[in-house]
Structures are given as C-alpha cells and as structure tokens.
Structure 1
Amino acid sequence: MQLLVNVDHVATLRNARGEGYPDPVEAAKVCEQAGASGIVFHLRKDRRHIKTDDVHRLKENVKGTLDFEMAATNEMIKISKAVDPHLITLVPESREELTTEGGLDMEVVYDDFEKRVFPAYRETDIAISLFIDPNEEDIKLAADLGSDAIELHTGTYANADTEEEKAAELERLKKGAIQAHELGMKVNAGHGLNLVNLPPLVETVPHLNDISIGHALVSSALYLGLDNTVQKFLDVMLTTKQTTN
C-alpha cells in the first residue's frame, strides 16, 4: 500500500496571489522525502490550480510514481503522452464543479474509451486507471476495456452523515475492491480521505495499492508542517494495516 500525495491545492494557494509560491514541485519533493511513494496532480482544462509548466517540472523532479489525473480530452491525451507519467487516471470533469464529484459513468464513456482513448496509449508504457464508483457493472466494464487499474471513488464514504451510511459504503468499496482484484486490475482509492476516515477504509477494504490524498493533507500541513503531515498519514496506514494482518 502506497501513499500518493495530490499537490493540486499547493498550486491553488500559489495561484490565489499570482505569486510563484508555494511551489507544488517543491512540495512534491518534501512529500517524497517524508516517505510518500509518489505524487498526483490534476491538470484541468481551465488550469485552475496545476499549470502546464508544473506538469513538466513534476516529471523532471518526482522520483516515485507520477499519477496524471485528467479528463479524456484530445488536449490532455497529447500532453500526457509527451510528459510520459507512470500512470494516468481518467476522471469526469465539469467546469462548474469545485472538485471531482463522482466516478465515471462507464456506460456513457465506454465506446469512446474503447475506440479513441485506450488505443492512444497502447503504444506507450503509461498505465491507465479509471476513477469509478464501486458499482459492479462499472468495474466489469473497466476490466472489459483492459484498464490496468481502477481508483475507487471514496467521496461518498467520506461524506456520509451517519455511521450506518459509512458502514454501507465501506461494504460497497470492499466488494468493489475484491471484484477488481479478481478481474486482474490494481485497486487504488481516493477522494475526501483524511486522518479520521482513513483507518476504517484501510481496515475494511482489501487489495489497496495506491491511496491518493490531497486536500486534507495540504490543509493539515498548515498546522502540522508538510513533512510531519505526510508521516502522520503514513503512520495511520502502516499501523492500521498491521492490526488487520
């Protein structure tokens, strides 16, 4: 199980004043030095946080896994192939949303992904992950496409109001992870995770490979420091994993 840190909101803070700091690339270096296994970024059409130049600098500086989150547009396909990250994670994207609000609707995107998107990467070494909700049919369609991985959308779990709702969503995530693993795909997870809701996820959901955490980690770093916050998330992952083995 690996921690990948999403540095989008370091760029959000930088862009708020139009200054050159804080630099998401420098933040990425700190995160890796503190023990993170890699870095995630989402290059959006409107460049609201990460900029195109950031992407190329991250490629030059990140030592571990580099996960390029993106909508499956021709522009992003072209940029990602030029950057050559280890992994792309295809996500739905809407200009109006504050953050990615849910997983891909696989029935809607399937034909386009099969004919246009997946063939664009098959002559590369870039692995493909699909950001999806823990729905049986969506996971099956991801496997049918030949996706290397899925990233389970954990936002519904993270935002659940009651313990019953959280438990129900954890069960869905568990079943989804088992199904994806049995279909030969790596299982990643992310969205809305923090130091409080991460332990039950790690304890309940098997086969987790990469866990992507951004906003909560960057927010906690304002009080605790970035390197210390990364270590706290790693400690939670390690401690929880050890108690369940």
Structure 2
Amino acid sequence: MSDCKLSVNINKIATLRNARGGDNPNVVEAAIRIQQFGAQGITVHPRPDERHIKYADVRELRPVVNTEFNIEGYPNEEFIALVLEVRPEQVTLVPDPPEALTSNTGWDCVTHQAYLQQVIARFKAAGIRTSIFLNAEVVQVYAARQTGTDRIELYTEPYAAHYAEDRVAAIAPFVAAARAAQEVGLALNAGHDLSLENLAYFAQQVPGLKEVSIGHALIADALYLGLEETVRRYRAALAVETV
C-alpha cells in the first residue's frame, strides 16, 4: 500500500480571506482543523506581493502545525530569511518570478546548479529538509542530485492536463523520473493540479512517492463536500496498492 503523505496547501483559504479583508476565514484555524481531519502536513507558498499567504501568516502558523510544515517559494533573500526564522520541516524551492500567477515549471538544475547548491547549503546547515520543484525529466533529476537537495517535487500539471485523454502516456515521464530519483537516492514529492480524479492512479503508478501537496482542487472540493470529508477522500485516494 502507498505510504504517501497528504500535505494541504492553504493558500486558497488566504485568498478568500484577502478578498474581503479582515480575518475570515482564519488560516490558522483552518490549518488546525485540516490536521485534525487527517492531513499529514500543511503547505504555504508566500509571495512577495502577499496576495494570498502573508509572511505574518507563516509565523503564526508555525506553533500550530504539529504534522509537517512545508514552505514553498522562490529563494530570494527575504524568503530565505523567513524560512530560517520559522524553521519548517521542509522548504520547497520553486523558480517562480514574483509576477507569476501560479507555479508553471520546474527548475533547470543544469543552468542553476551552483545557485541552488548555495541556497540549499544554507537550509541544510539549519537542519531544514530541502526539496526542489522539478519537471519530470530524467536529466533534471540527475542534475538535481548534484545540488545537495534531499528531495524533488515533480511538477504534475502536464500529467493532470493529459490524464483524461491518455493516462498511461501522461504518467510515463513521471514513472521514469521517479525511477531515476530512486537510482540516485532522492526522495520524491509531487504537486500541482492533482485532484480526486487523477490522484489515485498517480499514487499507484509512481514508485517511491513520499508526499503530495494539494491546494486548489482540494479547497474547491471542500466547497461541495465539506473540509473534513474532502481530506478523508484525498487520504483514501492515496491509500492504494502500488504496482
């Protein structure tokens, strides 16, 4: 059976709060309840313009996240300082420019290898597990290994986009990347556009999957199903027999 953990990205809850101002819905209360409902981690992705999760939110969340706290983001100096202050269990490095609407590609670890090595060394010196957001390309997996990262997170939007038309073809590069990760000793995460429609097959087919980070689809499903039932269904989708 899959032992993959579910980390819930709560950015969309902050987006809803920010649309009206004030503090409703409260992201700290949401994180507490999501963990109570069975999620095994909380993910946030603060951006420089603070259009959803704010830096203050990250600080307020740290005392209540008793599962695993994963902070995603582009490693500018402000982000690095925040992570080193808050000390999450995991930091996930994403190559987003500040104006990006959402994450839309992984790192080029060949081009940016020296830069990533420097950033990762700072986090590892502080005892923080590191992960690199990566396209499902074997050459990038091998290059990621040279950065010193502990894990990679596969960018799964291409899988989600082609799942309905041909799920076998859609999953193939992710299986290949996962096998390469196992070969070089990198642990494996995944995220972006995973949903109740496509999650179980992904978890079943991709070897060595440790964690998925899911936000948009999960929060959208919660509008219809309720948050507790939604977390239960996503956990159930991960509890599949692996091939």
In the TM superposition, what is the alpha-carbon distance from 1:160 to its structure 2 partner? 1.9
Aligned-residue CA RMSD in angstroms? 1.3
Following superposition, the deviation at residue 91 of structure 1 comes to 0.3
Q: Deviations over 1:8-29 (max 9, x none)?
A: 0000000001121111211111
Q: 1:50 aligns with which of 50, 53, 58?
A: 53
Q: If each structure's helix is expressed as a fraction of its own residues, which one has the higher value?
A: 1
After TM superposition, the structure 1 = structure 2 runs for residues 149-164 of structure 1, keeping only pairs within 5 Å, are 149-160=151-162, 163-164=165-166
Q: In structure 1, list runs of 5 or more residues that go unmatched.
A: none
Structure 2 length-normalised TM: 0.95
Paired residue secondary structure (1:222) = helix
Question: Which protein has greater RCO, CA pairs closer than 8 Å, 6+ apart?
Answer: 2
Paired residue for 1:118? Answer: 120
Q: Does 1:14 align with 2:17?
A: yes
Where does residue 32 of structure 1 map in the other structure?
35
2:146 alignment partner, SS class: helix
Distance 1:215 1:181 in 2: 29
1:60 shift after superposition? 0.8
TM-score between the two structures when normalised by the length of structure 1: 0.94
Give SS of 1:199's match. Answer: helix
Q: Partner letter of residue 70 of structure 1? A: G
Consecutive unaligned residues of structure 2, counting only runs of 5 or more, are: none
Paired position in structure 1 for 2:26: 23
SS across alignment from 1:156: helix
Whole-Å separation in 2 of the counterparts to 1:168 and 1:182: 22
Give the % identical residues. 38
Q: Where does 1:181-200 land on structure 2 (aligned, <5 Å)?
A: 181-200=182-201
**1:113 corresponds to which letter in structure 2?**
L
Q: Given that residues 141 and 180 in structure 2 are in contact (C-alpha distance below 8 angstroms), is that contact kept between their aligned partners in structure 1?
A: yes
Task: Name the residue aligned to 1:179.
Answer: 180
Contact 2:163 2:170 in 1 (8 A): no
Runs of 4+ in 1 over 4 A off after TM superposition: none
Deviations 1:94-147 (A, max 9, x none): 233321011112123212122x31232232110110000111111111111111
Does residue 104 of the first structure (1) align with residue 103 of the second (2)?
Answer: no
